[in-house]
């Protein structure tokens, strides 16, 4: 069955399906739909999660083993498979169709892939999975719908933006939804009365002097270790909320991981950057970072971001600001410089 993205939340409240397919080319929207499914399943007792990256050389029999095994500490399990090419190959097709019959009320499969073309949707394996669960097809937000989307995001953040402010942001972000969410999150922290006007948007885009989160991320992408340290110091001195910083950094890392996975699968750089909606003025920075790190390194850095979150919440001991600095320095390619914050 097909599930419209805007109706996914309501569908998850009504029932749990044994299989979900999230398909689309916008990394932010795909990530948010997948996150929504994970949160809903966790609330329904699916406390164990196994993640598989079905890249070249992947052994699909691992999925069959995962379905047939449960840990001693969890009764329900989510099996998540990321399929960067959108094509599972002969072995993958057979395993996925076999899995449909093995899934039960205690095991759910989440398959995440790029936009499923009509050719893919007409295949036997896709039709088999679609008939057994739900398909969430994510479509890009086009220019005419962007202001309405932005207005909704403002309201979800507890902000009320003027029509002029929404229109100006739509023009400035050039369709980059991740940048829009990042800016709305920043405004949520700095706007005192929850009322956003044109001046707030102008200041957010034009203030190039302040140490902000996005320039820290760009410094890391550029490989500028000294600037990373200076900016981390500046952010800490300004009292910028650390949870906001790590949230934005984690989103950037997920996007980098998605792009690197696509490169490894043989996709062209222009196509991947375009699909990830990387701004023209950031293409060189992003490309440089992707050339500097392999996929394993990017996943390790992304996993380290979770430590900052746990430190902030008191779940794990340590200095979260030092951990943040280690992450951006490693992303910049200079892990030897330590603890200058």
DSSP string, 66-131: HHH---SS-S-EEEEEE-TTS--HHHHHHHHHHHHHH--TTEEEEEEES---HHHHTSHHHHHHHH
Verify that 128 and 24 share a domain, yes or no.
yes
Instruction: Specify the CATH number for the domain of residue 171.
Output: 1.10.8.60
pLDDT for 158 equals 93
Do 318 and 268 lie in a common domain? yes
91 inside domain = yes
pLDDT in tens, the chain (341 residues): 999 988 999 999 999 899 999 999 887 888 899 999 999 999 999 988 889 988 778 899 888 888 777 655 557 889 999 998 888 989 999 999 998 888 888 899 999 998 888 889 999 999 999 999 999 999 888 878 899 999 999 999 999 999 999 988 887 776 778 778 878 888 888 887 888 988 888 776 544 334 467 788 989 999 999 889 888 888 887 777 788 788 888 889 989 999 999 999 888 888 888 888 787 778 889 999 999 999 999 999 998 888 888 898 888 889 999 999 999 999 999 875 544 44
The residue with tokens 């430590």 is 307
Structural domains in the chain (count): 3
Which residues are registered as beta bridge partners of 110?
20, 80
d(CA 109, CA 128): 13
**Residue 110, phi then psi, degrees to nearest 5:** -115, 115
In angstroms, the CA 263 to CA 265 distance is 5
User: And the tokens for 40?
Assistant: 């809903």
Where a domain ends, among 137, 165, 189? 137
User: Is 121 found in the same domain as 17?
Assistant: yes
Examine the domain organization and report whether 196 and 296 are in the same domain.
no
Q: Are residues 48 and 21 in the same domain?
A: yes
Cα-flanking dihedrals φ and ψ of residue 178, to 5°?
-65, -40
Tell me how far apart the alpha carbons of residues 220 and 325 are, in angstroms, rounded to a whole number.
10
Q: How far apart are CA 192 and CA 209, in angstroms?
A: 21
Tokens of 142: 């086009």
pLDDT of residue 282: 82
Counts for the chain of helices (H) and strands (E), in that order: 17, 7
Q: How many residues does the chain have?
A: 341
CA-wise closest residue to 279 among 324, 224, 214, 329: 214
Gap between the Cα atoms of 157 and 36, Å rounded: 16
Q: Select from 206, 228, 250 the last residue of a domain.
A: 206
The C-alpha atoms of residue 2 and residue 279 are separated, in whole angstroms, by 32
CATH code assigned at 306: 1.20.272.10
The upper half-sphere exposure of residue 245, i.e. CA atoms within 13 Å in the direction of its Cβ, equals 27
Q: Are residues 284 and 163 in the same domain?
A: no
Shared-domain flag, residues 181 and 154:
yes
Residue 180: domain span: 146-206
CA 43, 49, 52 angle in degrees (round to 5)? 145
Helix, strand, coil tally for the chain in percent (to 5) = 60, 10, 30
Please state, in angstroms and rounded to a whole number, the distance separating the CA atoms of residues 24 and 114: 5
């Amino acid at each position: 069955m097909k599930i419209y993205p805007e109706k996914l939340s309501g569908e998850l409240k009504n029932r749990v399906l044994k299989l979900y397919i999230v398909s689309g080319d916008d990394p932010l929207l795909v990530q948010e739909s997948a996150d929504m499914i994970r949160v809903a399943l966790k609330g329904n007792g699916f406390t164990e999660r196994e993640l598989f990256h079905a890249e070249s050389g992947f052994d699909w029999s691992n999925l069959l083993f995962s379905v047939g095994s449960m840990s001693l500490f969890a009764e329900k399990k989510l099996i998540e498979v990321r399929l960067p090419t959108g094509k599972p190959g002969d072995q993958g097709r057979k395993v996925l169709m076999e899995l449909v019959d093995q899934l039960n009320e205690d095991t759910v499969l989440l398959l995440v892939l790029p936009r499923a073309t009509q050719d893919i949707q007409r295949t036997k394996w896709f039709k088999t999975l679609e008939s057994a669960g739900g398909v969430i097809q994510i479509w890009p937000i086009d220019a005419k719908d962007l202001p309405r989307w932005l207005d909704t995001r403002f309201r979800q953040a507890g902000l009320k933006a003027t029509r002029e402010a929404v229109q100006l942001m739509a023009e400035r972000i050039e369709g980059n939804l991740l940048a829009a969410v990042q800016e709305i999150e920043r405004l949520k922290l700095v706007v005192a009365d929850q009322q956003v006007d044109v001046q707030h948007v102008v200041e957010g885009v034009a203030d190039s002097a302040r140490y902000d989160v996005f320039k820290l991320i760009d410094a890391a992408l550029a490989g500028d270790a000294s600037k990373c340290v200076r900016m981390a110091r500046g952010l800490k001195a300004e009292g910028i909320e650390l949870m906001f910083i790590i949230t934005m950094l984690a989103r950037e890392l997920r996007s980098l991981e998605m792009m690197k996975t696509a490169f490894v699968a043989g996709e062209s750089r222009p196509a991947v950057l375009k699909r990830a909606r990387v701004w023209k003025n950031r293409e060189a920075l992003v490309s440089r970072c992707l050339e500097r790190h392999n996929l394993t390194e990017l996943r390790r850095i992304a996993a380290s971001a979770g430590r900052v979150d746990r430190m902030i919440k008191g779940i794990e001991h340590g200095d979260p600001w030092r951990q943040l600095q280690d992450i951006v320095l490693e992303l910049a390619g200079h892990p030897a410089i330590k603890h200058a914050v």
